[in-house]
Amino acid sequence: MRILDLCVDRVLQEGEAVEACLRDHPQHAEQLEPILRLAQRTRLALEYTPRDAAKALARAELHRAIRERTADAQSGSPWESFQRALSRLLIARRWALMATTVALFVVLASTGAVAASSGSEADEPLYSVKRTVERARLALTRDDQDKARLHAAYADRRMEEMTAMASKGDRRRIKGLRGDVQSNLRHLRMAALPGQVILVAVPGGGWPDGRSGQTLPYAPRPLLIPPQGQRARELWDWQRTIQAHMQLIELRYRVALQEAPEPARAELREALDATRRDYQDLLFAFQQAYEARIDEASR
């Protein structure tokens, strides 16, 4: 594994030829070559700049789109073909970026860096590799529900890291990780509840809302009987998951506050309060969506 790591670094970072690495390690050449070829293609993709032939092809495509636009001028939609051509160009570029992401992910996963970074903390050298792998997995995940689950898992990781930084008195990283948790929960909601309009908080019984001074309309209710229908079941499962996370937060921070040095406790308390509010808002959003789905099914 050490040989593989060194060779991948030579190809990716230093731009050495694959053949040079294979010559240095002939006994491992058969296993090394396919991975190093992929690393080489990844490096070329990252350094890619359009060549004359590619530029000429793009110009030809653009001119063809303009000709089509002219031909369609009397159809009542003069820009449609032009937009279609531009869309094709943009789609091709997105696929190229996705291919590069896939290649990078495969190369990283083929080395010891990913495994070594998985348990790294926010103040350790391999932490950036850990976060890069997370971003790659999100980029490669197409299903919205799966993407939402990843965001939930990453939010939980950031909270673990936050408590670890609190025990070291690292107030700056506590604040940064708190922002990461907030971002993950926001993207979780966007992925799992696309297009949902969230009601504003109104006075009444329920959770305290520290930002507005008001309270949310109602508190979490027990979910005892699974509903019928796939979407309703998804929303039901999400509520149970979020409630479990909220309980875990309380236990985790209770311990962390005891272990953290005094200067970091205030920062940790603030992070706990903000995270608690975010989870409450998130649970409320899923309750709204769930009840709307149940009402719709009962009509």
For residue 127, give both structure tokens.
């932490």
Q: What local confidence, expressed as pLDDT, does residue 154 receive? A: 93
Residue 61: per-residue pLDDT:
53
User: Of all residues in the chain, what percent carry a pLDDT higher than 90?
Assistant: 13
Q: Cβ(263)–Cβ(171) under 8 Å?
A: yes
| Confidence at 42, pLDDT banded by 50, 70, 90 | low
**Which of 196 and 174 is assigned the larger pLDDT?**
174
The count of other CB atoms within 10 Å of the CB of residue 296 is: 11
| Placement of tokens 């969230």 in the chain | 198
Chain mean position to CA 40? 26
Dihedral, 195, 196, 202, 207 alpha carbons, nearest 10: -120
At residue 253, the pLDDT reads 81
Residues 6+ away with beta carbon under 8 Å from 127: 117, 120, 121
Q: What per-residue confidence (pLDDT) applies to 186?
A: 92
Q: Is the pLDDT of residue 96 over 80?
A: no
Percent of the chain residues topping a pLDDT of 70: 58
Q: Which of 15, 6, 19, 4 is nearest to 40 (CA)?
A: 15
Per-residue pLDDT, 52: 55
What are the φ and ψ backbone dihedral angles of 266, each rounded to 5 degrees?
A: -60, -45
Q: Distance between CA atoms of 99 and 27, rounded to whole angstroms?
A: 31
Q: How confident is the model at residue 177 (pLDDT cuts 50, 70, 90)?
A: very high
CA 189 – CA 281 distance, rounded (Å): 10
Label residue 255 by pLDDT band (50, 70, 90).
confident
Higher-confidence residue of 299 and 68: namely 299
Residue type, 171: R
Indicate the residue type of 123.
Answer: D
Angstrom distance (rounded) from CA 284 to CA 234:
15
Average pLDDT, the chain: 71
Give the pLDDT confidence score for residue 207 in this predicted structure: 41
pTM of the model: 0.59
- Average confidence (pLDDT) over 79-100: 49
